[in-house]
Amino acid sequence: MLIRRERADDATAIAAVHRSAFAPRYADRVDVGDSPPVPVDDRSADPPEVDLIARLRSDEGWIPTLSMVAIEHDLVIGHLCLTRAAVGPFPVLALGPIGVLADHQRGGVGSALMHAALGAADALDEPLIGVLGSPEFYPRFGFVPAARVGIAPDEPAWITHFQVRALSAYDAQIVGEFRYTGPFYEL
């Protein structure tokens, strides 16, 4: 497996990764009542993460060097991106989405992407990464509840799943409200 930054010709494969990774979570959304279920691979039934990636690419918060893919035998099998976010006046990063093809999950692809992204962000002297995600998955990469370091998500309902990871350039003065870039609020 190789981890590299995303290229323009990866967009279709990246959409397929997020479709494969997230469609099962939204399976109940494709049931349209008395009509036959809409196939999950129908573009109109795409999980929101597919559209989010497309919107992020044209947003000012997009950081091309921090959008990474996992490649196996010339096939994109995973994707992760970090985008610009803020804690008050401090620029920080937001993680997500991260996705791995369904038939490649639980094989270390997501962990490899996480380690590559953390290393790249640290090398760029970024201070902190925020993520809204599983309290069981992200702590293994050093994420802690954001409230522990004085950071709160700008959506109060997210408090139980919002976590941060301090990097080498972290400064304890970075406290306050975390704000994602615009497309995250359009889901």
Sequence-ordered strand ranges (E) for 46-113:
62-72, 75-87, 90-100
Q: Are 69 and 3 in contact (CB under 8 A)?
A: yes
The pLDDT score that the predictor gives to residue 38 is 47
CA 129 to chain centroid: 11
Can you give the pLDDT at residue 30?
44
Residues 116-125 as b/e (b if ≥16 CB within 10 A, e otherwise) read bbbebbbeee
Structure tokens at 86: 């803020």
179 forms beta bridges with 86
pLDDT tens digits, the chain, 187 residues: what are they? 999 999 999 999 999 999 999 987 766 544 444 444 444 444 457 889 999 999 999 999 999 999 999 999 999 999 999 999 999 999 999 999 999 999 999 999 999 999 999 999 999 999 999 999 999 999 999 999 999 999 999 999 999 999 999 999 999 999 999 999 999 998 7
This prediction has a pTM of 0.89
